[in-house]
Amino acid sequence: MDLRCPKCNSTDLKKVSLAYQQGLYRTDARTGLSAALVGGNGPDLIVGRATTHASHQSALSKQLSPPAKWSYLKVVSWSVLAFLCVGWLVFYVNTVTTNSSSVLSSPLTAFGLISGAAFVLQLFLVWRHNHSAYQERFADWDHSFICQRCGAVSQHG
Ligand SMILES: [Zn+2]
């Protein structure tokens, strides 16, 4: 193994995945707390977790973070929330404009169909990301090294 930094030619390289783990060990308590919060399943809690996550991570370990898998839970939570908000709006406008209490009127049916299609599309996109783009990025990340002299990140192997 003759790894050299492409920037300063130093051989003092460390695997990015290792540097990342070392940078994160102080924040283990946070991880436990957020895991407990996620049990609530709401979008607010998920957003809260993401914010806490970002603010507690050091700038360096953030730069070294592995690629993230897209979360089905996140997509589903936001979809349900959007569905309820927009659905209520469509229902309200529909009731006011047509003065009809029929639940199966055409705007609502159209909304239901579009929502269903959008939901399936989102799940497909998450699945595709996790099975192709994510795998590639993770492999790249796993082959990345950080120079301990100048901090440049380069890929080897
Ligand atoms: Zn270097």
- Quick one: three-class SS letters along 24-50? HHHHHHHHHHHHHHHCCCCHHHHHHHH
Q: Kindly give the distance from the C-alpha atom of residue 144 to the centroid of ligand 1, in angstroms, as a whole number.
A: 13
Q: How far is CA 54 from CA 18, 62, 129, 144, in A?
A: 19, 8, 22, 22
Question: Can you give the length of the chain in residues?
Answer: 157
Report which of 65, 64, 62, 31 is spatially closest to residue 49, judged by C-alpha positions: 31
Ligand 1 centroid distance, CA of 129 (Å): 32
pLDDT of residue 103: 54
Q: Using one digit for the tens of pLDDT, what is the confidence trace for 123-153?
A: 999 999 999 999 999 999 999 999 999 989 9
State in Å, rounded, how far the first CA of the chain is from the last one.
10
- The amino acid occupying position 117 is A
With a cut of 60, say whether residue 26 has pLDDT above it: no
Query: SS3 of 13, please?
Result: strand
pLDDT in tens, 5-17: 999 999 999 999 9
CA of 55 to the centre of ligand 1 (A): 27
Tell me, in angstroms, the distance from the centre of ligand 1 to residue 37's CA: 40
**Distance from Cα 114 to the centre of ligand 1, integer Å:** 52
- In tens, the pLDDT along 37-62 reads 444 444 444 444 444 444 455 666 66
What is the 10 CA–ligand 1 centroid distance (Å)?
5
Paired residues of 145 in beta bridges:
15, 154
More confident residue, 155 or 22: 155
What residues flank ion ligand 1 with Cβ within 5 A? 5, 7-8, 10, 147, 149-150, 152
- 6 CA distance to ligand 1 centroid (A)? 7
